[in-house]
Amino acid sequence: MKQIEKTAAADNFTAINVGKLSDINGYVLEMGPNVRIPGKVFCGSALGTTGSELSFQQFAPGTETGFVHTHRRHEELYFFLSGRGEFQVDGHVFPVSEGSVVRVAPAGRRSVRNNGTEPLTMLCVQYAGSTFTPDDAADGQILPDPVRW
């Protein structure tokens, strides 16, 4: 089973490498004694994130999540990086492919499947819903420091 590689870290950052996205299927998420999800890796713990969680997942052709789920507080963004498939939220089914992005509110009943012929790879970012304000959009600060490589 693949392992996340920590590549650098200091007080204000952590960098990891999950490997080639085409090889995400080498990970297996163990969620309990009878729940194993092949091709999924959570990265938040390895990165030390404090405001979100993120995971990569790859579905082989003809596979799906196998369940519908919701969240109590977390909104999710799904970024589709390769392949083709279908996504469903609250019974609405629609196509997804490389470049598709889907936002799902916490109460949205969601699932995804690969009905294509190539692996379907996605990045999911999960964060507390209803917390971003208009002031947050201006949170970044450009510093006068010169960039040095």
| Interval 43-89: pLDDT, tens | 999 999 999 999 999 999 999 998 999 999 999 999 999 999 999 99
Supply the pTM of this predicted model: 0.92
Q: Which residues are paired to 39 by β-bridges? A: none
Using one digit for the tens of pLDDT, what is the confidence trace for 118-144? 999 999 999 999 999 989 889 999 999
Selection from 80, 91, 83 nearest residue 124 by Cα? 80
pLDDT band of 35, cuts 50, 70, 90: confident
Q: Which CATH class is domain 5-131?
A: mainly beta
**Domain boundaries defined on the chain:** 5-131
